[in-house]
Chains A and B, each alone.
Chain A
Amino acid sequence: MIAFKYTKINGAEYLSHLDLLRHIYRTLRRASIPVNYSGGFHAHPRIFLNNPLGTGIKSVAEYATIETNFEGDFMERFNAFSPAGVKCLKWAKVDKNQNYANCIVKCSYSAEGIPPFDIGRFLAQDSIVIADMRGREVDIRPRIYAVERQGDALLFTLGCGENNLRPDLFCQYLCSQFGGGAKNILKTASVMSGDEFV
Chain B
Amino acid sequence: MTVNLDDIKDILSRVEKPARYTGGEYGEVISPPSPFYFCMAFPDLYEVGMSNLGIKIVAESFRRRGYAADYCFAPYTDFGDAIKKAGVPLYSLALKKPLAEFDMIGFSVQFELCYTNILYMLDLAGIPLRRKDRASKNYPLIAIGGPCAVNPEPLADFVDLVFIGDGESVDADVAALYLECGGATEQFFRRAAAMEGVYVPALMEVKYDKEGHICAFEGDFKPRRAIIGDLDGAIFPATQPVPNCESVFDRSIIEVMRGCYRGCRFCQAGFIYRPVRRRNVDTLTRQACSLIASTGYDEVSLNSLSTGDYPRLRELIKSLKASLPAGVTLALPSLRVDSFDADFAQDARKISLTFAPEAGSQRLRDVINKDITEDEILSAAESAFDIGYSAVKLYFMLGLPTETDDDLHAIRRIVDLIKSAYGRKARAKSLRVSVSVSTFIPKPFTPFQWEAQCSEEEVEAKQKVLRDCLYIKGVTLSWSDYFTSRLEGVFARGDRRLGKVLERAYELGCRFDGWTKDLNKQAWAQAFEDCGVDPAIYTRERGMDELLPWDFIDIGMDKKFFARERERAYGGVVTGSCKKGCAGCGLQKICPAARGDR
Partners in one complex: yes
On whether the beta carbons of B22 and A14 are closer than 8 Å, the reply is yes
On whether the beta carbons of A29 and B298 are closer than 8 Å, the reply is yes
Most interface-central of B19, B21, B22 (chain A CB within 10 A): B19
A56 CA to B16 CA in the complex, in Å? Answer: 12
Chain B hits for A11, CB < 8 A: 5, 19, 22-24
CB neighbors of A among B206-248 (8 A): 242, 244-246
Chain B hits for A83, CB < 8 A: 24-26, 242
CB distance from A43 to the nearest CB of B (A): 10
On whether the beta carbons of A30 and B293 are closer than 8 Å, the reply is yes
A177 CA to B47 CA in the complex, in Å? Answer: 39
A-B contact pairs, 24 of them (CB 8 A): A14-B19, A16-B19, A18-B246, A19-B19, A19-B244, A19-B246, A22-B246, A23-B242, A23-B244, A26-B296, A27-B26, A28-B296, A29-B297, A29-B298, A41-B349, A55-B13, A55-B19, A56-B12, A56-B18, A83-B24, A83-B26, A85-B24, A181-B10, A183-B9
On whether the beta carbons of A168 and B295 are closer than 8 Å, the reply is no
Given A29-B296, A183-B9, 8 further pairs, Cβ under 8 A: A11-B24, A15-B19, A19-B245, A26-B297, A41-B349, A55-B19, A83-B24, A168-B13
Using CB atoms, name the residue of chain B closest to A84: B24
Interface string of B487-501 (1 = CB under 8 A from A): 000000000000000
Which of A10, A16, A28, A84 is close to B245, meaning CB atoms less than 8 Å apart? A16
- The answer, yes or no, to whether B294 is at the interface (CB within 8 Å) is yes
CB distance from B577 to the nearest CB of A (A): 38
CB distance from B136 to the nearest CB of A (A): 38
A89 CA to B242 CA in the complex, in Å? Answer: 23
CB distance from B575 to the nearest CB of A (A): 44
A55 CA to B245 CA in the complex, in Å? Answer: 12
Chain A hits for B244, CB < 8 A: 14-15, 19, 23
On whether the beta carbons of A183 and B6 are closer than 8 Å, the reply is yes
Chain B hits for A15, CB < 8 A: 19, 244-245
A19 CA to B18 CA in the complex, in Å? Answer: 12
A26 CA to B25 CA in the complex, in Å? Answer: 12
On whether the beta carbons of A14 and B18 are closer than 8 Å, the reply is yes
Using CB atoms, name the residue of chain B closest to A183: B9
Chain A hits for B5, CB < 8 A: 11
- The answer, yes or no, to whether A6 is at the interface (CB within 8 Å) is no
Using CB atoms, name the residue of chain B closest to A37: B327
CB distance from B348 to the nearest CB of A (A): 13
Interface string of A66-93 (1 = CB under 8 A from B): 0000000000000001111100000000
Most interface-central of B6, B242, B297 (chain A CB within 10 A): B242
CB distance from A20 to the nearest CB of B (A): 10
On whether the beta carbons of B295 and A26 are closer than 8 Å, the reply is yes
Interface string of A1-42 (1 = CB under 8 A from B): 000000000111011101100110111111000000000010
Chain A residues within CB distance 8 Å of chain B: 10-12, 14-16, 18-19, 22-23, 25-30, 41, 55-56, 81-85, 168, 181, 183-184
Most interface-central of B18, B21, B244 (chain A CB within 10 A): B244
Chain A hits for B296, CB < 8 A: 25-30, 81
Chain A hits for B295, CB < 8 A: 26, 30
A19 CA to B245 CA in the complex, in Å? Answer: 6
Chain B hits for A18, CB < 8 A: 246
Using CB atoms, name the residue of chain A closest to B298: A29
Chain B hits for A22, CB < 8 A: 246
Which of B9, B24, B246 is close to A10, meaning CB atoms less than 8 Å apart? B24
Chain A hits for B19, CB < 8 A: 11, 14-16, 19, 55
Task: For the complex of A and B, list the 8 residue pairs with the smallest distance between their C-beta atoms, beginning with the closest.
Answer: A26-B296, A11-B24, A56-B13, A29-B296, A30-B296, A14-B18, A11-B22, A83-B26
A79 CA to B19 CA in the complex, in Å? Answer: 21
On whether the beta carbons of B242 and A26 are closer than 8 Å, the reply is yes
On whether the beta carbons of B26 and A23 are closer than 8 Å, the reply is yes
- The answer, yes or no, to whether B17 is at the interface (CB within 8 Å) is yes
CB distance from A154 to the nearest CB of B (A): 17
Which of B12, B293, B349 is close to A14, meaning CB atoms less than 8 Å apart? B12
Interface string of B291-318 (1 = CB under 8 A from A): 0011111100000000000000000000
A183 CA to B26 CA in the complex, in Å? Answer: 26
CB distance from A109 to the nearest CB of B (A): 15
A138 CA to B224 CA in the complex, in Å? Answer: 68
Using CB atoms, name the residue of chain A closest to B10: A181
CB distance from A114 to the nearest CB of B (A): 15
Using CB atoms, name the residue of chain A closest to B250: A22
Q: Given A11-B23, A11-B24, A26-B26, does the pair A16, B17 have CB atoms closer than 8 Å?
A: yes
Chain A hits for B22, CB < 8 A: 11, 14
Using CB atoms, name the residue of chain A closest to B14: A56
Using CB atoms, name the residue of chain B closest to A28: B296
CB neighbors of A among B17-36 (8 A): 17-19, 21-26
CB distance from A10 to the nearest CB of B (A): 7
A193 CA to B245 CA in the complex, in Å? Answer: 33
Chain B hits for A85, CB < 8 A: 24
Chain A hits for B24, CB < 8 A: 10-12, 83-85
A3 CA to B296 CA in the complex, in Å? Answer: 21
Chain A hits for B293, CB < 8 A: 30
Using CB atoms, name the residue of chain A closest to B23: A11
A116 CA to B22 CA in the complex, in Å? Answer: 32
Chain B hits for A14, CB < 8 A: 12, 18-19, 21-22, 244
CB distance from B460 to the nearest CB of A (A): 40
A16 CA to B16 CA in the complex, in Å? Answer: 10
CB distance from A54 to the nearest CB of B (A): 8
Chain B hits for A29, CB < 8 A: 296-298
On whether the beta carbons of A56 and B9 are closer than 8 Å, the reply is yes
Using CB atoms, name the residue of chain B closest to A85: B24
A102 CA to B17 CA in the complex, in Å? Answer: 27
Chain B hits for A183, CB < 8 A: 6, 9
Chain A hits for B297, CB < 8 A: 26, 29
Using CB atoms, name the residue of chain B closest to A42: B349
CB distance from B98 to the nearest CB of A (A): 18
CB distance from A172 to the nearest CB of B (A): 11
Chain B hits for A84, CB < 8 A: 24, 26
A16 CA to B23 CA in the complex, in Å? Answer: 14
Chain B hits for A10, CB < 8 A: 24
Interface string of B275-297 (1 = CB under 8 A from A): 00000000000000000011111
Chain A hits for B294, CB < 8 A: 30
CB distance from A77 to the nearest CB of B (A): 13
Chain A hits for B12, CB < 8 A: 14, 56
CB distance from B310 to the nearest CB of A (A): 27
CB distance from B197 to the nearest CB of A (A): 36
CB distance from A82 to the nearest CB of B (A): 7
A181 CA to B188 CA in the complex, in Å? Answer: 51
Most interface-central of A14, A19, A23, A28 (chain B CB within 10 A): A14
Chain A hits for B23, CB < 8 A: 11
Using CB atoms, name the residue of chain B closest to A86: B26
Chain B hits for A168, CB < 8 A: 13
Chain B hits for A55, CB < 8 A: 13, 18-19
CB distance from A173 to the nearest CB of B (A): 16
